[in-house]
């Protein structure tokens, strides 16, 4: 039993969201992004739950790819950052991985260390992200060098949006125009869309689309699109009330005494804090759901605990569940109150036991089977 903080992962919701991503992709294929331990949802569990429907998985680095291969994942796995050292090429070859090529030194390494088996390369253009990728005017030369290598079987033409999560983004349109102009006439499959692009930029949907946040039931937008009303949150972060006390008006709560009760107040203490990944900078008033009621966070979030105002809800008892985000409380709302983004809240999750429900996966540790 132990400490009540828990992240419950609904694998049926994950599959539901994947189907939505596939519908948006039309005739294109979905490369499910499961980097960063599937945004703390469990990469092995999520990939296994999608193994019968997903066309491929994308990870950040080779360590994440090898974890999936060890779990029996046979679909294509894409290294989104490519390889960091030439020594990794032997593992790319052995485990039959796809790799992004985004810099000249990677082409040089592949040329000097040809693989025994044909590899699919995802050639990345920096169309306006300003991060990694070949400049548009250097892209075709890179493509030609790769196509001349006997060990390269396919080259996927690839780029990445910087501002697709902004409504009517001119920058996103400029990126798409740049990508199309500099890849005109080049054969090969194309891939541009992340979650935001897949939802809002129909003209950018390609042969491969790379949703991440969308799969986990979180909108990449601050405004509401129709699609966001169809996706289902995959994670519910919850804990329980471990203390209830009444304090008089004028009393302060928490480190720094930054919150003062304006009335006689009932305070509840919830066993979760910033060491678990709940944002320390969540402001007073950030909602927490208890027994179907939304109550405000009060006082600073501590390492292991946070405090809420229970005064206006009835019959609360020690042991009652507190939902920090999930189906009834959007993680995007919590992120906004903390001055951050849902990606960071998910990826910062720590120390919290993970419980799975939904799809039954034999042999998955800590899986609770829930029959439909």
Q: Is residue 4 part of a domain?
A: no
- Strand 235-247 and strand 321-325: the pairing is antiparallel
C-beta separation of 42 from 356 below 8 A:
yes
Select which of 18, 35, 124, 356 is catalytic. 35
**Whole-number Å distance between alpha carbons of 238 and 120:** 42
* Same domain? 256 vs 311: yes
* Same domain? 24 vs 168: yes
Catalytic (active site) residue 255:
yes
**Whole-number Å distance between alpha carbons of 229 and 79:** 31
CA–CA distances in Å: residue 181 to residues 132, 164, 185, 253: 19, 19, 9, 59
How many Cα atoms within 13 Å fall on the side-chain side of residue 348?
Answer: 16
- DSSP bridge partners of 241: 270
Q: Is residue 103 part of a domain?
A: yes
pLDDT at 370 (0 to 100): 31
pLDDT at 78 (0 to 100): 98
**Whole-number Å distance between alpha carbons of 52 and 360:** 13
Last residue of a domain, one of 190, 218, 246: 218
pLDDT at 225 (0 to 100): 66
Burial status of residue 317 (CB atoms within 10 A of its CB: 0-12, 13-18, 19 or more) = exposed
Residues 6+ apart with CB under 8 A from 120: 76, 98, 152, 153, 154, 155, 156
pLDDT at 224 (0 to 100): 67
CATH classification of the domain holding 102: 3.20.20.10
Q: Is residue 276 part of a domain?
A: yes
Last residue of a domain, one of 184, 218, 252: 218
* Same domain? 137 vs 191: yes
Judge whether 149 is annotated as a binding position: no
Q: Is residue 337 part of a domain?
A: yes
pLDDT at 2 (0 to 100): 86
**Whole-number Å distance between alpha carbons of 114 and 119:** 10
Tell me the H-state helices in 268-339: 331-337
Q: How many domains does the chain have?
A: 2
* Same domain? 302 vs 201: no
pLDDT at 360 (0 to 100): 67
Q: Is residue 368 part of a domain?
A: no
* Same domain? 343 vs 318: yes
Judge whether 355 is annotated as a binding position: no
Last residue of a domain, one of 188, 218, 248: 218
Q: Torsion angle of alpha carbons 77, 83, 88, 93, nearest 10°?
A: 40
∠ CA 97-101-103, rounded to 5°: 150
C-beta separation of 224 from 192 below 8 A:
no
* Same domain? 127 vs 256: no
C-beta separation of 327 from 233 below 8 A:
yes
* Same domain? 212 vs 266: no
Measured from the Cβ of residue 258, the count of other Cβ atoms closer than 10 Å reads 12
Catalytic (active site) residue 35:
yes
Domain with 88, as residue range(s), is 11-218
* Same domain? 272 vs 318: yes
* Same domain? 282 vs 245: yes
DSSP 178-208: HHHHHHTT--S-EE---HHHHHH-GGG--SE
CATH classification of the domain holding 250: 2.40.37.10
Please give the structure tokens belonging to residue 240: 């329980």
- Strand 29-33 and strand 252-253: the pairing is unpaired
Q: Which residues of the chain have pLDDT under 50?
A: 365-372
**Whole-number Å distance between alpha carbons of 202 and 199:** 7
Select which of 202, 230, 255, 293 is catalytic. 255
């Amino acid at each position: 039993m132990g400490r009540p903080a828990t992240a419950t992962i609904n694998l049926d919701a994950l599959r539901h969201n994947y189907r939505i991503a596939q519908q948006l992709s039309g005739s294109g294929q979905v490369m499910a992004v499961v980097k960063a331990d599937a945004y703390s949802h469990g990469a092995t569990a999520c990939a296994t739950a999608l193994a019968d429907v997903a066309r491929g998985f994308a990870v950040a680095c080779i360590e994440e790819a090898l974890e999936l291969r060890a779990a029996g994942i046979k679909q294509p796995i894409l290294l989104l950052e490519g390889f960091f050292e030439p020594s990794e090429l032997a593992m790319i070859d052995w485990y039959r991985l796809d790799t992004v090529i985004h810099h000249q030194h990677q082409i040089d390494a592949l040329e000097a260390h040809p693989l025994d088996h044909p590899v699919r390369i995802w050639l990345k253009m920096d169309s306006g992200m300003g991060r990694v990728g070949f400049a548009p005017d250097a892209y075709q030369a890179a493509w030609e060098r790769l196509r001349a290598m006997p060990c390269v079987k396919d080259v996927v033409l690839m780029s990445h949006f910087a501002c697709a999560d902004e409504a009517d983004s001119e920058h996103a349109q400029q990126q798409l125009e740049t990508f199309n102009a500099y890849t005109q006439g080049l054969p090969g499959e194309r891939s541009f869309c992340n979650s935001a692009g897949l939802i809002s930029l129909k003209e950018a949907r390609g042969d491969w689309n790379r949703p991440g946040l969308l799969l986990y039931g979180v909108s990449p937008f601050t405004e509401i699109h129709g699609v966001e009303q169809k996706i289902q949150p995959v994670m519910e972060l919850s804990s329980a009330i471990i203390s209830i006390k009444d304090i008089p008006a004028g009393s302060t709560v928490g480190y720094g005494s930054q919150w003062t009760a304006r009335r006689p107040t009932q305070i509840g203490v919830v066993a979760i804090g910033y060491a678990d990944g709940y944002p320390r900078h969540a402001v007073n008033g950030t909602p927490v759901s208890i027994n179907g009621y939304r109550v405000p966070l009060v006082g600073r979030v501590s390492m292991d605990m946070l405090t809420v105002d229970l005064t206006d809800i009835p019959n609360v008892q020690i042991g009652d569940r507190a939902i920090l985000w999930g189906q009834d409380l959007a993680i995007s709302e919590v992120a906004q109150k903390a001055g951050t983004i849902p990606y960071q809240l998910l990826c910062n999750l720590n120390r919290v036991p993970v419980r799975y429900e939904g799809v039954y996966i034999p042999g998955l540790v800590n899986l609770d089977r829930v029959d439909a």
